[in-house]
Every structure is written in C-alpha cells, then in structure tokens.
Homo-oligomer: A and B are copies of this chain.
Amino acid sequence: MTYCVGLLLNDGIVCLSDTRTNAGLDNISTYRKMFTFTEPGERVIVIMTAGSLSVTQTTLARLDEAASDLEATPATSILMAPTILQVAEIVGRTLAETSQEVANRMGANATSASASLILAGQRKDGDMRMFLIYPEGNFIEATADTPYLQIGEHKYGKPILDRVVTPQTNLADAKKAVLLSMDSTLRSNLSVGMPLDMVVIEKDALEIAEQRRIEAQDPAFAAMSRSWSDALREAFTKIEV
C-alpha cells in the first residue's frame, strides 16, 4: 500500500509520500510516489500516486511524454495547460485511459488495476489548488473546510490531521503535522515504509521551496518520532478518566 497526504493552506502547499510498494507481502520494493513539474515563475505541479504501480508509472510516463512532445498543446500537456483545473483534467483522462487499458488486459483480475492520485499546484495568476483524482478520472478538490487530501492507508494518520490542521496552519506546523500523521501510519501499518518524500510550496512563489527525501535512518525524523511518542505517553498519563 501507500500513504500520501497533501495540505492546502493559506500560506502554501505541503505534500508527503512514502515509497513502499508491494506485490504480495513477500515482494516489497521502494518506488518514488511523488513527482514534481516546475517552470519557475510560471507553474508548479506536484503529483502523488497510490495504487497499482503499473498504472501509476504508465500514467506518469505518458504525462511526461505528452508534455515533451514537439506537437504538445495546452489540451495535452500539463506544462502548457492554462490552469491547474485543466491540468487535473489532463491527468484524470490519462489515468482513466491507462487504468482501462490495464484492466482490459487483466480481465477478471481488473479490480487491482486501479490507482488514485493527488495533484497540487499553482499556475501564474491562479490560486493554489489541490485535487484527489479517482481511478475513473473524476476528482474532488480540497477546500477551506477540508484543507487536506489523503490517498492509500489514510485512516491511521487522519486523527492527528483532524485535530491540528486548519487553513491557517503555518508551513512549519504543516510539515510537522504531515510527518506525525505519517509516523502514526508507519508504526501501525507495515505496508507503508520509509524513505519519505516531502515537498513544500509557498503561496505565489511558483517554485518549490523545499524538496527532500527523508531516509530510514534520518536522525531528525527519528528524534521527532521519539519525542512524539514520549509526549503522547506523557499526555496519556495526565488525562483523567
């Protein structure tokens, strides 16, 4: 499985994904699930993926190919589309077509040929936007009421987001929130695994402010994870029933 989470805040966008994929429990690998497309000053786009690796890889490869095609048009290239909504439409269409092709090949096993994506970004003169794109290519959008979107194993890490994230959350707290949300998921579900990929985009910067890979032995992440455990245990001790 997978866990990817994106926050759409007044100050910017924060995305975090894990990298574990598995074909059965005995075949575990590491694959990047976060992809960025930027043209500084013009547009910044992040895509995170969950689901069948053959579907997500082919979808991303086709988006890439369509964008670098010499005959690319605003209707086919996510780097030329005039708005993030239109990027979402191109991505949704490509995902749905790819899923359908893979499903046709798989016949009765087609239930496992699906994938979901989170798309976030900003186009010059446009708002920051974030979409969750379903396997069929339709999508929903993050709003002020629900400023985060998740794909994959979303349940373990949802309580902390429900408690601390609002559109007013600053970017430092937002990074903390997604990392703690991931930490809860990593602890409780083996199908989500390190390393992690994180991207931070500041509002109207139209470029990536921070992009980093957090390795399994990352001392800061380990320290944060330990402090959070300690803080939770301490809070637990103090609560009166």
Contacts and interface: CB of A to CB of B under 8 A. Distances in A.
A56 to B, nearest CB: 23
Contacts of A189: 155
B159 A187 contact: yes
Interface stretch (A65-73, A107-115, A229-237): A229-237
A238 B231 contact: yes
Contacts of A160: 232, 236
Contact of A175 (B227, B231, B241): B241
A139 interface: no
Interface in A204-241: 220, 223-224, 227-229, 231-236, 238-241
A158 interface: yes
Given A155-B155, A156-B156, A240 B224 contact: yes
Interface stretch (A40-48, A78-86, A127-135, A177-185): A177-185
Given A184-B159, A188-B158, A235 B234 contact: yes
B180 A236 contact: yes
A23 interface: no
A105 interface: no
B227 A231 contact: no
A164 to B, nearest CB: 5
A133 B160 CA distance: 31
A156 B31 CA distance: 26
Interface string A131-169: 000000000000000000000010110111011100000
B164 A236 contact: yes
A111 to B, nearest CB: 13
Contacts of A233: 163-164
Given A159-B187, A159-B188, A177 B234 contact: no
Given A155-B156, A232-B164, A220 B241 contact: yes
Given A156-B159, A160-B236, A164-B236, 20 more contacts: A153-B155, A155-B155, A156-B156, A156-B158, A159-B159, A162-B188, A163-B229, A163-B232, A163-B236, A164-B232, A176-B241, A177-B236, A180-B239, A223-B240, A224-B239, A224-B240, A224-B241, A227-B240, A232-B232, A235-B235
